[in-house]
Amino acid sequence: MTGMPTSWAALDEEARDWERRVDDAMEDDPDIVRYVRRLEARYDERTTSSLPTPDDLAAEFERFLRQHDDQ
CA distances from 43 to 14, 36, 40, 46, 64 (A): 24, 10, 5, 5, 30
1 domain-assigned: no
- d(CA 26, CA 19) in angstroms, rounded, equals 10
Q: What is the dihedral of CA 40, 44, 46, 50, to 10 degrees?
A: 160
* pLDDT reported for residue 6: 73
* pLDDT reported for residue 47: 76
**Domain count along the chain:** 1
Domain containing residue 41: 18-69
11 domain-assigned: no
pLDDT in tens, 17-64: 999 998 888 888 889 889 989 999 998 888 766 778 899 999 999 999
* pLDDT reported for residue 16: 96
57 domain-assigned: yes
